[in-house]
Amino acid sequence: MRIVSWNINSVRLRAPLVEKLVAEISPDVICLQETKCPNDSFPEKIMHKLGYPHIAKNGVKGYHGVATLSRVPIVESHIVDYCKKGDGRHIETIFDTASGPLSVHNFYVPAGGDEPDPEINEKFAHKMAFLAQMTKIFKAQAKQKTKLQSVILGDFNIAPGEHDVWSSKALKNTVSHTPIEIEKLAALQATLDWDDVARRFVPPEEKLYSWWSYRARDWAASNRGRRLDHIWVTPKLTDKVKDYQILTDGRGWERPSDHAPLWIDLDVG
């Protein structure tokens, strides 16, 4: 099962890029973030024609929003309204596989604004509260002591490692790479011993990015990126991940998102 995560930055505007993505890598499941449309405006007919008859959505008008598209049936879908804001930042889909139920959590974590101080920046306070709630929920799952087949992915808006940003020194006080955000992300990762798939396939000492700002005149030449997008799996799935890629070329498509698609190949029978 090939599972893609992609902050598409408006699914209606960039629906043609989904077609390009499908033509290039033929995913089974596509998890989109920042869809920027309410559920009744989602371009379902286009996605059906591309071969994705099963769609789970949590959209809102104008901002945020997540959706999961699938070639295979979605058995169940669930939404958690984080921070009681109704801003469409999470959807869980469950699939039947030969190795048991597979849960895929699709997240769009708040960006956090410009100032990394919750006392003066409401957006950063929201980000901290959101991460705290995520951690609480997954910590509760850990207490169930069941071996879960779970994937958590999406735009986490945090680049945790030294080489997940173009310059750790320059960005140490910049939202997405501050010590408090890195600490909160580590606490989330510890809840279910989540495996950061990327850093098993790409050594931690190598630069790895999934996002490049629109502000750069030539994003590829300057290459001042950040790894804001992540795919993690529970230990039961670690040995079943057969490949991981970031489709960097996707950042250079016509009218692109500022995020590149990333994916894993998962052997679930």
Q: What is the CATH number of the domain that holds 225?
A: 3.60.10.10
pLDDT band for 228, please (50, 70, 90 cuts): very high
List the domain range (segments joined by +) for residue 124.
Answer: 2-266
Please choose, from the candidates 243, 245, 238, the residue with its C-alpha nearest in 3D space to the C-alpha of residue 99.
238
- Tell me which amino acid residue 166 is: W
Predicted confidence (pLDDT) per residue in 157-191, tens digit: 999 999 999 999 999 999 999 999 999 999 999 99
Work out the end-to-end distance of the chain between its first and last CA atoms, rounded to an integer number of angstroms.
Answer: 9
Residue 148 has what pLDDT? 86
Distance CA 1, CA 13 (A): 27
pLDDT band for 136, please (50, 70, 90 cuts): very high
Length of the chain measured in residues? 269
Residue 147 has what pLDDT? 76
State the chain's maximal CA–CA distance in angstroms: 50
Distance CA 186, CA 207 (A): 19
Residue 145 has what pLDDT? 62
Predicted confidence (pLDDT) per residue in 233-261, tens digit: 999 999 999 999 999 999 999 999 999 99
Distance CA 156, CA 90 (A): 11
Q: What is the phi/psi pair of residue 38, to 5°?
A: -65, 165
User: For the whole model, what pTM was predicted?
Assistant: 0.97
Task: Count how many domains the chain has.
Answer: 1
Distance CA 152, CA 264 (A): 12
